[in-house]
Amino acid sequence: MFTDLLNRLFGSDPTPLPELDGRHALAGLLVRTAKTDGFYQVEEIRRIDRILAATYGLNPVEAAKLRAESERLEAQAPEDGRFASAVCERLDREHREAVLTAMWRVALADGVEKLEEEAYLNRAGERLGLDEDATLRARKAAETADPLNY
């Protein structure tokens, strides 16, 4: 029993993460963005669901299900950039910048700007293969977007 406890605390997880598809990778990035500051707020969850619904043509229940599945994946995944890598492999530069804009929209959904979120989103921009100018454009687009439009 003691050995089992030590293995759980310090051992590697014997269950590897599943291969990420594009939908779960994007949703994982959005969830991780929302959780970066240590608070996962209702406004952020609603914004994630609206982004997923608009992006993939999902109804509210389907979007919430995708988010919930991605929450479980995000909870298991280390902060190693695997979500960003999966997105980067599948999308061109223009669409990666749109992903970063969506991430900024989630970060700004609660109306409070936090240094942790800004630092995370700057790293995410780099991991998505975007330069500083693209990161600034994504942030500006998120700040000026209509809050009712996902």
Per the structure, the complete domain to which residue 106 belongs is given by: 19-144
Q: Which of 51, 74, 73, 77 is nearest to 64 (CA)?
A: 51
Instruction: Classify residue 149: in a domain, yes or no.
Output: no
Instruction: Classify residue 12: in a domain, yes or no.
Output: no
Instruction: Classify residue 40: in a domain, yes or no.
Output: yes
| Residue 8: per-residue pLDDT | 42
Number of domains in the chain: 1
| Residue 21: per-residue pLDDT | 82
Query: In the chain, which residues have pLDDT < 70?
Result: 1-20, 147-150
| Residue 13: per-residue pLDDT | 47
Tens of pLDDT, residue by residue over 45-70, are 999 999 999 999 999 999 999 999 99
Predicted structure pTM score: 0.83
CATH of the domain at 82: 1.10.3680.10
Please give the distance of CA 86 from its chain centroid, rounded to a whole number.
12
What DSSP line would sit under 91-121, residue for residue? S-HHHHHHHHHHHHHHHHTTS---HHHHHHH
Instruction: Classify residue 6: in a domain, yes or no.
Output: no
